[in-house]
Amino acid sequence: MNKIICACVLILALITTVVGAGDRPTTIDEFYDTQARTRVIAHRGFSGAAPENTIAAVRAAIKIKADMAEIDVTLTSDGHIVVIHDESLDRTTNGSGKVSDFTLAELQQLDAGAWFAPSFAGERIPSLDAVLDEVEGRILLNVEIKSEAVERGIVTKVASAIRRQGMIDQVVVSSFSPTALEEMHAEAPDIWTAVLYNAKVHKGQDAVEIVTGLGATVFNIKRQRLTKEMMRRCAENNIPVGIYTVNKPRHRGR
């Protein structure tokens, strides 16, 4: 792919050193400039150094000078946006059951850090508003909307939170759910959106048609699924490509 010029974004979890190049972008437009250097996103925050999707992980991403932090969002039983990856609480908290069965107040009583290391005991499940407060002006943010919350109206709530914080130029919204991306484009066309390639839905489709058909701007895909044809098509149409998850130096050239 020597002659293919395309913005490349590496999404990492196990970063072990300072990754910034001294020119951390401050806006989404700048981040996805196709003539810029390869950008680095800290997956679920710096989840190699702190419990994923917590304020501690976001702060760790800022500390190592990543270009962007990525988080996952879903809804509580009382309609609040919280930052957690799984539908279940079991893996990353001391709670049990589905996230959507608990109120925000109930979830924020849980410990979301001790599972990772004793030093993080007492870390809480943050709200999206708390993360936006933390990152504003410090690091750009990728907000991944979990598919299970789309039918419950999370898209409108995410758009409202970003607007309320005045961070339209600092946040990109991504999702595996085509419906979520379509709704976000209709609700807030000024907020950048990124397709997360869904093999069950998108298999066999042209990368450019996937992105443009959903009103999105960015094409994100698992490293093992990326092809030279996808890169070529995106480069020809000035579409940035995000590659996840890249944790080994030998994978950076893919």
| 51-70 per-position pLDDT tens digit | 999 999 999 999 999 999 99
CATH number at residue 168: 3.20.20.190
What's the CA gap between 126 and 129, in Å, rounded? 8
Report residue 205: phi and psi, to 5°. Answer: -90, 150
45 closest CA partner among 140, 133, 129: 140
Q: Is residue 225 part of a domain?
A: no
> Which domain does 183 fall in, by range?
19-25+42-216
Please give the DSSP secondary-structure letter assigned to residue 98: B
Model confidence band, residue 167 (pLDDT cutoffs 50, 70, 90): very high
Q: Is residue 185 part of a domain?
A: yes
Number of domains in the chain: 1
Q: Is residue 3 part of a domain?
A: no
Report residue 221: phi and psi, to 5°. Answer: -155, 150
pLDDT over 90 at 97, yes or no: yes
pTM above 0.75, yes or no: yes
The pair of structure tokens assigned to 63 is 């500390």
Instruction: Calculate the CA 99 to chain-centre distance.
Output: 19
| 12-34 per-position pLDDT tens digit | 655 444 455 457 899 999 999 98
Q: Is residue 128 part of a domain?
A: yes
pLDDT over 70 at 250, yes or no: no
What's the CA gap between 223 and 206, in Å, rounded? 17
Enclosing H/E stretch for 140: strand 140-145
Q: Is residue 34 part of a domain?
A: no
Q: Is residue 168 part of a domain?
A: yes
The pair of structure tokens assigned to 226 is 């990326």
Model confidence band, residue 78 (pLDDT cutoffs 50, 70, 90): very high
Beta strands 81-83 and 68-75 are antiparallel
Could you give the dihedral angle defined by the CA atoms of residues 201, 3, 243 and 131, in that order, rounded to the nearest 10 degrees?
-120
Among residues 43, 80, 185, 251, the one annotated as catalytic is 43
Q: Is residue 232 part of a domain?
A: no
Beta strands 140-145 and 241-244 are unpaired
Among residues 85, 185, 202, 251, the one annotated as catalytic is 85
What is the pLDDT averaged over residues 159-163?
A: 98
Residue 85 among the catalytic residues:
yes
Tokens 């995410």 found at: 158
Q: Is residue 237 part of a domain?
A: no
